[in-house]
Amino acid sequence: MIHLENAQFAWPNEHAVIEIKNFSINKGEKVFLKGSSGSGKTTLLSLITGIQTVQSGLLVVRGLELKKLKPHKRDLFRGDHIGYIFQQFNLLPWLSVEDNILAPILFSKVKRQKENGHHHEKVAELLNELSLDVDIKKQARNLSIGQQQRVAVARALIGNPEIIIADEPTSALDGDRRNDFMNLLFSECEKRDSTLLVVSHDSTIASRFNRVEELENINGGFHV
Ligand SMILES: Nc1ncnc2c1ncn2[C@@H]1O[C@H](COP(=O)(O)OP(=O)(O)OP(=O)(O)O)[C@@H](O)[C@H]1O
Ligand SMILES: [Mg+2]
């Protein structure tokens, strides 16, 4: 589902932050990628989701070499097939909780069809499973950080994407909320056999994954 080979990326005027010789994630696999702050986790996710593109080497997601697609095609690809929980959440602050969660199905016919007209029920279901008891008409900017993170999680799961990518998804959650989140994440993934990649330095959630990798072990492979 995700394959990198000799993939390299450097931010402008910097040394390469990503140099991955070989790394793959199979369909339906649930992978936890650990790495220290500044090691390139968010950068790697921005490549896999097509926000950035590799400068050399191969990065294939769902059979497509992303750097060969035009930027708007990469945006469509991400919108249709990926649920991305951003490290900074990236909610639209002036929109309500409900409109933030529904935004992906507004922009993607693929996700809309998968919800099959039941998207309002799905919003209620996701919020319930995440123990997020807020007025769905409330603006996102007026939520606590932990509440915003759960809205970001619900937004990533709506439309049942085949690939779920999460960047430090539990950073603002306490122990109980963290368990709710992990239960929901794994039950949603299992329903659809979704492929899951979570990057974090929170090792407490690692035990539920099929595979745990250290970014340091797969990155920088060009020099060993
Ligand atoms: N937009 C950017 N422009 C220039 N350099 C960047 C940019 N984003 C990240 N970097 C640099 O790339 C390196 C990796 O950053 P990245 O955000 O991928 O790390 P991370 O592993 O996600 O860290 P954290 O755990 O703190 O979120 C850092 O040295 C950072 O300064
Ligand atoms: Mg990061």
- Å from CA of 115 to ligand 2 middle: 30
Mutate to test the pocket of ligand 1, among 13, 15, 17, 46 (most ligand atoms within 8 A of CB): 17
Q: How many CA atoms lie within 13 A of 205 on its CB side?
A: 29
Q: Which ligand is nearest to the CA of 51?
A: 1
Other Cβ atoms closer than 10 A to 82 = 22
Alpha carbon nearest to ligand 1 atom 27, residue: 37
**Domains in the chain: boundaries:** 2-223
> What's the confidence (pLDDT) of residue 212?
96
Which residues line the pocket of ligand 1, CB cutoff 6 A?
11, 14, 17, 35, 37-43, 87
- Å from CA of 142 to ligand 1 middle: 28
C-alpha 86: how far from chain center: 6
Name the helix (H) or strand (E) containing 31: strand 30-34
- Å from CA of 8 to ligand 1 middle: 15
Query: Which ranges of 53-174 does DSSP label H, i.e. alpha helix?
Result: 71-81, 97-107, 109-115, 119-129, 145-157
C-alpha 80: how far from chain center: 13
CA distance 155 to 75: 16
> What's the confidence (pLDDT) of residue 5?
96
pLDDT along the chain (224 residues), means of 10: 97 94 96 93 97 97 96 96 94 97 96 93 94 95 94 95 94 88 88 92 89 94 53
DSSP, residue by residue, 152-218: HHHHHHTT--SEEEEESTTTT--HHHHHHHHHHHHHHHHHHT-EEEEEES-GGGGGGSSEEEEHHHH
Strand partners, 84: 165
Q: Which ligand is nearest to the CA of 215?
A: 1
- Å from CA of 22 to ligand 2 middle: 21
Second-level CATH architecture of 2-223 = 3-Layer(aba) Sandwich (3.40)
- State which amino acid sits at residue 28: G
